[in-house]
Amino acid sequence: MENLKILLSEKDIPHSWYNLSADLPFRLPPPINPATKKPLEKKDLSAIFPDVLIEQEVSQKKWIEIPAQIRDIYRLWRPTPLRRARRLERFLKTKARIYYKDESVSPTGSHKTNTAVAQAYYNKKAGIKRLATETGAGQWGAALSFACNVFSLGCRVYMVKVSFHQKPFRKSLMHMWGSEVIASPSSLTESGRRILKEDPHCQGSLGIAISEAVEDAARNKDTNYSLGSVLNHVLLHQTVIGLELKKQLRIAGEKPDYLIACVGGGSNFGGIALPFIKEKIKNDKLQIIAVEPSACPSLTKGKYCYDFGDTAMLTPLLKMFTLGHNFIPAGIHAGGLRYHGCSPLVSALASKEIIQSRAYHQIEVFKAAVIFAQTEGIVPAPETAHAIKAAIDIAKNDNKEKCIVLNFSGHGFLDLSSYDKFLSGELKNYAHPLKAIKNALKDLPKFS
């Protein structure tokens, strides 16, 4: 019997993060300061980020060393296993070999912990006392709470209201690690109050929660802001996933034909994909696929242009695939994918067709998730299940001994109420939000 799990030892935890920007054959369009309409300067960010992270955001160094204190915490769960989905393959009667990189083994159950630990560490080192952040499904909020607890930092999490109610147990985790959790939009910030005035029943969105957290950080001198996705330094920290994966594939004697991950802001996708982009540019046979929900299809239906990262227009302008910063996605259960935009780095790769994208409705995604839970035994997070759905489709359609690798970004132990709804037939799909996107795209900032 061949091994189902390809395990590395702790000395195989990468010593450096991989910075794709340094290796790209083109330059990323810079973030723009909306006031000056000029490229953002480092000082524009210093009210909310520590210097080291601002450096990492714009760095052109190919390898950035991971401090020993961060690797020490990574050791609690890293390296993560690469697993062969043998029982899923047999169920599908496919000749494809399906692997999944299991990021769900982290303390908080998802890949988010990789950057949370790094961000908390650098903020602590910079003398910051408290972090403010947003969270969708709660995976990021839980991860940052864990990391802040490790480094004795305070933490306030603005949690998208629909998830605050749908996912009470990620909130419990945040409380366990000492964070304060606020349903967003809230009345604690100017941005929140403005939105509640317009719509007191607003269910929130990542864009709104980001506005509240940024405002909180900008107002309080001892507080910084921490983002769980989208930005270059976040994706940088996630490259430990792809770097470990490369070693594991070498051990398995595999070269991937498909790399698949779900995409919201782009951090788990970036984590697995970025270390493979250079060889993808040289080798057209590798397909790298970003999978998003049909209810929030920024890569497949959005526009590639400059837009705000948040709803209240507090952030710099980022060149990215966007549905418009006013677009509020339907309340799908994959809360972590409910973001109007997408990482500028991932967006640039998509605009140059180096990576591909596809979108699925939530019922077909949950069907795939249950097949996975029944065959492999692990319950996926609804976000992760998007990648599983794509992998299953590809394994069925391209039945030619291909090697498919997906990023198993998180488990679904805290999403079981969503599964209850699916299993009892209560779950519904949402119509393609074409009209809402068209409307939201009207509000794009003039700079484009």
The site for its own copies (CB under 8 A) is made up of: 1, 3-5, 7, 9-10, 72, 75-77, 87, 105-109, 146, 149-150, 168-169, 172-173, 175-178, 370, 373-374, 376-379, 411, 413-414, 416-417, 419-420, 423
Q: How far is the CB of 149 from its own copies (least distance, A)?
A: 6
Distance CA 370, CA 393 (A): 15
Q: How far is the CB of 79 from its own copies (least distance, A)?
A: 10
27 by Cβ neighbours in 10 Å (0-12 / 13-18 / 19+) ranks as exposed
Of 87 and 246, which has the nearer Cβ to its own copies?
A: 87
Q: Which is nearer to its own copies, 379 or 404 (CB)?
A: 379
Nearer to its own copies, 47 or 373 (CB): 373
CB of 202 to its own copies, least distance (A): 26
State the Cα–Cα distance between residues 371 and 176, nearest whole angstrom.
Answer: 32
User: What minimum distance in Å lies between the beta carbon of 293 and its own copies?
Assistant: 21
Do 288 and 391 contact (CB within 8 A), yes or no? no
| CA–CA–CA angle 337, 137, 407 (5° rounding) | 55
Nearest to its own copies of 179, 294 (CB atom): 179
Q: Output 181 or 213, the one with its CB closest to its own copies.
A: 181
Residue whose CB is less far from its own copies, 152 or 187: 152
Q: How far is the CB of 69 from its own copies (least distance, A)?
A: 11
Shortest separation between residue 256's beta carbon and its own copies, angstroms: 22
Least CB distance to its own copies at residue 109 (A) = 7
- Write down the least CB distance from residue 270 to its own copies, Å: 24
CB of 163 to its own copies, least distance (A): 15
